[in-house]
Structure 1
Amino acid sequence: MKIVAQVKLVPDAVQASVLERTLRTVNDAANWVSEVAFEHDVPREYELRKHTYAELKARGLGAQAAQHVIKKVRDAYTTLKANIRAGNLGKEGSKRRRKAQSKPIAFRPQAAQPYDDRCLSWQFDRRTVSIWTVDGRVKNVPFVCSADALKMLQAYRKGESDLIERDGVFYLIATCEVDEAEPYEPDGFIGVDLGIVNIATASTGYEAAARALNRYRKRQLALRAKLQKKRTKSAKRRLKERTRREARHAKNTNHIIAKTIVTEAERTSAGISLEELKGIRQRVRLRKPQRVALHSWSFAQLAGFIVYKAKRAGVPLVFVDPAYTSQTCAACGHVDKRNRVDQGLFICRGCGVVAHADRNASHNIATRGESVWNAGRESRVPATS
């Protein structure tokens, strides 16, 4: 299982200048390669290398850096094609899709640049790195990270690391190959219903209310609007300082929720059943005031955190179809749209049971998870006579 660990580089003024110039150089080169790829209708990586490798070397890039720039561009076009095929950029002929297909992919000056072990080496005992730059190898660049991140890097770091710059601060995003724990045989399943009013509601009774997070987001939205309206230097500076603060806050909240759910499942030897949320933004129809909440909350992030934490702990996990889980009675199985009286109240028209709507849905998700798990264990091989 791949997990990324982030470390913050603490270069001196000279090292920082070289790193900044390196990122700008490689991303300028990536933009040129992108134009060549676009002009030649995105050839294969080998063909693209024939068109661009010599020029990249002439621009001062080392052999490995040039290869990484070419691969980065090729991967970007592969991702673009995959998004177009999946319909993520709209239907054929849509404005967004035409815009994406009408010009070469562009890379920001601070965009990530991949490094392999030939371009980057780690000295964990001294907490420094030696890194390739356009001015040659720069050694003894200090880095800082949490104690847990350092342990993971020392034990599991493998493959490429990405150098990025955010607001003048440099980071290395390192890939770690962590062994997955052997999943145990679950004693039942914990269903997790994800939503906007309640971020997560588990069938065990755990409920992560979104009230505080939504209030925080609303406050941040009002503050951004106020600062943008002023247009003064100090307002722009404060806006820049607040960049990504809301995303970090939401990410931390999702980490806490995921850890709580996985820890409870591990403690009770249960599995976890999650609803399949792919395409939820296209499926769900909401009034305009509610769309901000829907599109602001990172559904996939929380699900991803639960998945990787469950894999590390050996907790069995399944995804189920969420259709009608909010309209189905967990007690008798009666399905009726009118069962869901409002956001928080569920009253079954069949048996009359009254329950919290999200908790009722979580019990349905748990039941479906157990069915999916049992179906997966059944042998598909015909019995021998």
Structure 2
Amino acid sequence: MPIITRKIELCIDREGITDDEYKTHWQFLRQIDDNLYLAANRMSSHYFWTDEFENRMRMQMPEYYKVSKDIRKLARKKMSEEEKESFEQLKEQLERLEDVIKQKKEDFLCGTNVRTSIYRLVSEEYSNLIPTDILTNLLQEITGSYKKVSQDIRKGNRTLSNYRKGMPIPFSFPKDKNPFIVRSEEGKTDILFKWFEKRSGICFQICFGKDRSNNREIVKRLIADFNKDDGYKLNTSSIQLVNKNGKTEIFLLLSLTIPVQKRSLDKELVLGVDLGIKYPLYLATNGAAYIKRYIGDSDSFLNERLVFQRRYKELQRNLQCTGGGKGRGKKLQALELLRDKERNWVKTKNHVFSREVIKFALKIGAGIIHLEKLTGIGRDNDGDVRDDRKFILRNWSYFELQTMIKYKAKMEGIEVRLVNPAYTSQTCCNCGERGERKEQSVFRCMNPECSEYGKEINADYNAARNIALSKDVVAD
């Protein structure tokens, strides 16, 4: 089932609490915010330290060094039957030595595993400042993050992650009690959220604002489906304190699992999505040729992006005289605000485009959507960005758009596959032979035996249909 996250603004509910209690709630939040990133860095460093400790034990064990060296030497050459037998014996010997090292490490960690020892270490320092539930969830996040990058750290491809103040505060929802409360009075309905009721008793009021993402209906559904097996489910979520214009704002990063919609879709009908230049998206199917559609207009999209860029450059020119020192942050604030505004505009556009793709897929009953794998898109054989793609790649958010299509399709029960983008824009969707594109928007088939020979075909439609027809599915 798909997992989504919603960012919703919170404010501390003032009803029924004194000014001192209100200040205490803020102190509790800031206390966690001030110490959480320190605990996160402590956990991450301890994981790295235990890995290095294990490596040093291997280096200081002559038998382990000799066996691993012999294995590497045999693996580099073609082995005889006798050497193959010896190779397997060496591997078994190395596994036994690994068990010895792991046992020594566990003995050094007082008979516990690494994760338990880290939790004991950090809780000893921070349990009076951070609730244990938050520390437990933080450790789970750090563990997952470290495992993903540990190989790259060992190879020297990256450094250890550094966490900073303001990181999201992870927490779990109580399993036996609905944390959301609906309060209706004087014709007004508010939804409240109780957080760490036993320790701090903070009650937040959820501020939905204009609610373009329909967050109010999602929370109402969570309340209605609480403890239902087939309804919306709450996952580990987080609260984040954001300092903006000298004011601290509180946001709930609500993570929830949504049940997949049960729909009657044709798993043989594939919708291909081409991310193009003239049109942001062009859609075509592997079935009837007349089922096609384009979404958006690149001219208006890019013109708006260029307006943002011109304004940004103008602000930069006006601020060229800005030196370092006190007040620099405030002087550059206009640039940051403009960058945020542009980012929000692009994200909104991508939400609209992705929603239209899913609506079209449901309308025609397509059970599968094909997208091009983005790795290397717009680049030549040497890995350089092609001249005709430099401008568009700088101004487009292809990856974000694909991500939105993926999770929205999953919510509707539509399968999304990534296909190899090679030659999708250079071959004829009718015969599969190579053609020519003398113009960006026009494709011509050069196969005399093809019924489309010499005809002008919309290049984006041709690419979208090739994507839909593609059997070269690649891993995500």
Normalised-by-shorter TM-score class: 0.7 to 0.9
Counterpart code for 1:77: Y
Contact 2:9–2:207 (8 Å) recurs in 1:
yes
Q: 1:144 aligns with which of 207, 216, 226?
A: 207
- Matching of residue 108 in structure 1 with residue 164 in structure 2: yes
CA change 1:75–1:312 in 2 (3 A) is closer
Contact 2:279–2:294 (8 Å) recurs in 1:
no
CA distance in 1, matches of 2:143, 2:330: 41
Of the structure 1 ranges 309-318 and 115-124, higher mean CA displacement relative to structure 2 is found in 115-124
Local SS of the residue matching 2:334: helix
CA distance in 1, matches of 2:378, 2:163: 28
CA change 1:79–1:163 in 2 (3 A) is farther
* 1:292 Cα deviation after fit: 6.2
Q: How does 1:367-382 map to 2 (within 5 A)?
A: 367-368=469-470
The C-alpha deviation readout for 1:261-318, integer Å capped at 9, x for no partner, is 2112212222443233242359553258954642553323222222222233334543
The C-alpha deviation readout for 1:27-64, integer Å capped at 9, x for no partner, is 2222233333333338842342243332222x522222
Q: How does 1:336-355 map to 2 (within 5 A)?
A: 336=435, 339-350=436-447, 351-355=453-457
Q: 1:128 aligns with which of 192, 195, 203?
A: 192
Contact 1:190–1:202 (8 Å) recurs in 2:
yes
CA distance in 1, matches of 2:115, 2:221: 33
CA change 1:176–1:354 in 2 (3 A) is same
The C-alpha deviation readout for 1:204-256, integer Å capped at 9, x for no partner, is 12232233232222322333333344146664232343353222212211111
Residue in 2 aligned with 1:65? 134
Q: 1:220 aligns with which of 293, 301, 308?
A: 308
Residue in 2 aligned with 1:181? 261
Counterpart code for 2:272: G
Residue in 2 aligned with 1:273? 369
Local SS of the residue matching 1:51: helix
The C-alpha deviation readout for 1:47-94, integer Å capped at 9, x for no partner, is 42243332222x522222222232232222123237x39xxxxxx66x
* 1:202 Cα deviation after fit: 1.0
Counterpart code for 2:433: H
CA distance in 1, matches of 2:395, 2:45: 33
Local SS of the residue matching 1:26: helix
Residue in 1 aligned with 2:407? 308
Residue in 2 aligned with 1:239? 335
Counterpart code for 1:2: I
Contact 2:274–2:372 (8 Å) recurs in 1:
no
Counterpart code for 1:70: L
Q: How does 1:244-323 map to 2 (within 5 A)?
A: 244-280=340-376, 283=379, 285-286=384-385, 290-291=389-390, 293-294=392-393, 297-323=396-422
CA change 1:291–1:162 in 2 (3 A) is farther
CA change 1:245–1:124 in 2 (3 A) is farther
Residue in 2 aligned with 1:378? none
Q: Percent identity?
A: 22
Residue in 2 aligned with 1:327? 426
CA distance in 2, matches of 1:36, 1:314: 42
Contact 1:196–1:294 (8 Å) recurs in 2:
no
Q: How does 1:31-46 map to 2 (within 5 A)?
A: 31-41=41-51, 44-46=114-116
Local SS of the residue matching 1:341: strand
Q: How does 1:80-91 map to 2 (within 5 A)?
A: 80-81=149-150, 84=152
CA change 1:136–1:196 in 2 (3 A) is farther
Counterpart code for 1:359: Y
Runs (4 or more) in structure 1 with deviation over 6 Å come to none
The C-alpha deviation readout for 1:319-342, integer Å capped at 9, x for no partner, is 322221101111222124xx1223
Aligned residues: 354
CA change 1:185–1:324 in 2 (3 A) is same
CA distance in 2, matches of 1:288, 1:56: 54
Counterpart code for 2:219: L
Contact 2:369–2:414 (8 Å) recurs in 1:
no
CA distance in 1, matches of 2:423, 2:388: 24
CA RMSD, 1 decimal: 3.2
CA distance in 2, matches of 1:320, 1:70: 37
Q: 1:163 aligns with which of 224, 234, 239?
A: 239
* 1:192 Cα deviation after fit: 0.9
Residue in 2 aligned with 1:202? 283
Contact 1:281–1:294 (8 Å) recurs in 2:
no
CA distance in 1, matches of 2:460, 2:388: 21
Counterpart code for 1:159: N
Contact 1:192–1:272 (8 Å) recurs in 2:
no
* 1:6 Cα deviation after fit: 2.3
Q: How does 1:1-80 map to 2 (within 5 A)?
A: 1-11=2-12, 14=23, 15-16=25-26, 18-41=28-51, 44-57=114-127, 59-80=128-149
Counterpart code for 1:46: T
* 1:115 Cα deviation after fit: 0.7
Contact 1:345–1:354 (8 Å) recurs in 2:
yes
Residue in 2 aligned with 1:379? none
CA change 1:264–1:239 in 2 (3 A) is same
CA change 1:282–1:165 in 2 (3 A) is farther
Bigger radius of gyration, 1 or 2? 2
Contact 2:443–2:458 (8 Å) recurs in 1:
yes
Local SS of the residue matching 1:35: helix
Gaps of 5+ in 1: 86-91, 373-385
CA change 1:242–1:44 in 2 (3 A) is farther
Local SS of the residue matching 1:125: strand
CA distance in 1, matches of 2:357, 2:333: 39
Contact 1:346–1:356 (8 Å) recurs in 2:
yes
The C-alpha deviation readout for 1:131-158, integer Å capped at 9, x for no partner, is 249x941422211223333234334141
Gaps of 5+ in 2: 15-21, 53-112, 184-190, 226-231, 285-291, 323-327, 448-452
Contact 1:192–1:365 (8 Å) recurs in 2:
yes
Of the structure 1 ranges 309-318 and 162-171, higher mean CA displacement relative to structure 2 is found in 309-318
Residue in 1 aligned with 2:252? 172
